[in-house]
Amino acid sequence: MPELPEVETVRRGLEPAMVGKTIKKVHLSRPDLRFPFPDHFARTLEGHKILSLTRRAKYLLAELDNQQILVMHLGMSGSFRIEDKPVGQFHHQRGKSPTHDHVIFILEGDKQIVYNDPRRFGFMLLIPQNDIAQHKLFRKIGIEPLGNSLDGPQLTTLFRAKKVNLKTALLDQTLICGLGNIYVCEALFKSGLSPKRKAATLNGRTILARERAERLAHSIREVLTQAVAAGGSSLRDHRQADGSLGYFQHHFQVYDREGEACPNKCGCKIKRIVQSGRSTFYCAHCQK
Q: Longest Cα pair distance anywhere in the chain, in angstroms?
A: 72
| Catalytic-labelled residue, pool 49, 56, 120, 278 | 278
Closer residue to DNA, CB minimum distance, 19 or 284? 284
Mark the segment that binds DNA (CB under 7 A) among 38-46, 90-98, 163-171, 220-228.
163-171
Q: Does 1 bind DNA (CB under 7 A)?
A: yes
Q: Site for DNA (CB under 7 A): which residue of 10, 53, 182, 188?
A: 182
The DSSP bridge pattern shows strands 111-116 and 79-84 to be: antiparallel
Strand order in the sheet with 79-84: 23-28, 101-107, 111-116, 79-84
Mark the segment that binds DNA (CB under 7 A) among 19-27, 47-55, 71-79, 149-157.
71-79
Over 177-213, what HEC string results? CCCCHHHHHHHHHHHCCCCCCEHHHHCCCCHHHHHHH
Q: Which of residues 39-58 bind DNA (CB under 7 A)?
A: 57-58
**Least distance in Å: CB of 93 to DNA?**
19
**Least distance in Å: CB of 166 to DNA?**
12
b/e 237-256 (16+ beta carbons within 10 angstroms → b): ebebbbeeebebbeebbbbe
Distance CA 116, CA 52 (A): 22
Q: Does 134 bind DNA (CB under 7 A)?
A: no
| Catalytic-labelled residue, pool 2, 5, 145, 195 | 2
Distance CA 24, CA 22 (A): 6
| Catalytic-labelled residue, pool 3, 6, 8, 186 | 3
Q: Does 232 bind DNA (CB under 7 A)?
A: yes
Catalytic-residue membership of 211? no
Catalytic-residue membership of 3? yes
First CA to last CA distance, the chain: 29
Catalytic-residue membership of 36? no
Residue 179 corresponds to which amino acid?
A: L
Mark the segment that binds DNA (CB under 7 A) among 62-70, 107-115, 161-169, 221-229.
161-169
**Least distance in Å: CB of 278 to DNA?**
5
Q: Does 230 bind DNA (CB under 7 A)?
A: no
b/e 81-93 (16+ beta carbons within 10 angstroms → b): bbbeeeeeeeeee
**Least distance in Å: CB of 250 to DNA?**
13
Residue 276 corresponds to which amino acid?
A: S
| Catalytic-labelled residue, pool 11, 58, 162, 271 | 58
Other C-beta atoms within 10 Å of 287: how many? Answer: 22
Q: Ramachandran region of residue 156, left (φ > 0), alpha (ψ -120 to 50) or beta?
A: alpha
Q: Which of residues 73-132 bind DNA (CB under 7 A)?
A: 73, 75-77, 99-100, 118-121
Residues that bind DNA in the complex, under the rule CB under 7 A? 1-3, 6, 34, 57-58, 73, 75-77, 99-100, 118-121, 136-137, 161-164, 168, 171, 173, 180-182, 232-236, 238, 276-279
> Which residues form the catalytic set?
2-3, 58, 278
